[in-house]
Amino acid sequence: MVSRSRPAEGAMALAEMKEFASFPGATQRYIRRSLDIGLDRDDAMSRWSRDVVEAASIRAQARLYRALPELRERVPDDSGLEAVEPFLAPLVTIVAFDLGQGRLSSFSAVRFLYERLIGAEARPWLPAAFCAAAALPHLHPDNRRALLQSISEAAATASGWSNRQPSFFPHWVEKVEGGQSLAN
C-alpha cells in the first residue's frame, strides 16, 4: 500500500519565504504594511508612515480593511452564485485600492497578501477579484495591461486549490548594531 506524505511544514514555509523574497522591495514593504494593518499586528501609522501622503494612504487602507473580519466569515463554501456578491464585491473594492497604490505589480503578490489577510479559503476567488480589480478604469491602461498579463493561464483556470493555510507571515525587521537583525 502506498501512503502519501505531506511536504514538511518547514519546506512550505521556506518556499513562501522564497516567493516573498522574489518580490521587489516596494512590494515587500507594502505587503508587510498591509499585514500590520489587516491583522492588527502593530501600529502601522508610526511604523510605515514616511510623510503625510503615506499617512493618508494608511488611514484609507485601514478604513477599507475594517471589512476583512466580515470577509473572512463570508468566504463562500462553494461556487453558488448567491454567496458570491456579498464576498466578491467588497473584496474587489479592497484589491482595487491595493492595486491603485502601485506597489502590488502582479497576481502572485496579490495572492500572497490575500491568502494571509483572509485565509486559504479565499484562494478560489482571488483570480476573479484580481482580474476585476485590475481591469477597473482607475488604473492607467499600461498598468492594467501589465497586471492582467501577470496572471498565468494556470492560475486563472485552476480546477482546484490547496486549502493549506500559509505559514510565513513577513514582519518588520529592526537593524541593530553590528549589522545583525532582530525580527519583531
Instruction: For residue range 23-51, list pLDDT tens digits in order.
Output: 999 999 999 999 999 999 888 899 999 99
Percent above pLDDT 70 for the chain:
88
3-class DSSP state for residue 181?
Answer: strand
Residues in the chain: 184
Query: CA torsion, points 94, 27, 124, 135, in degrees to nearest 10?
Result: 60
Q: What is the pLDDT of residues 73-124, one digit of tens each?
A: 999 987 677 888 999 999 999 999 999 999 999 999 999 999 999 999 999 9
Q: What is the pLDDT of residues 125-145, one digit of tens each?
A: 999 999 999 999 999 999 999
7: left (phi over 0), alpha (psi -120 to 50) or beta: beta
Set of cell numbers at residue 54: 503615506
| CA-based max dimension of the chain | 63
Q: Which positions ≥6 away from 135 have C-beta within 8 Å?
A: 144, 148
Is the whole model's pTM more than 0.85, yes or no? Answer: yes
- Helix, strand, coil percentages in the chain from 3-state DSSP, rounded to 5: 65, 5, 35
34 and 61 in contact (C-beta within 8 Å)? yes
Distance between CA atoms of 103 and 44, rounded to whole angstroms? Answer: 16
What is the pLDDT at residue 175?
60
Grade residue 177 by pLDDT with cuts at 50, 70 and 90.
low
HSE, side-chain direction, 13 A CA sphere, residue 9: 5
Instruction: Judge whether residue 179 has pLDDT over 60.
Output: no
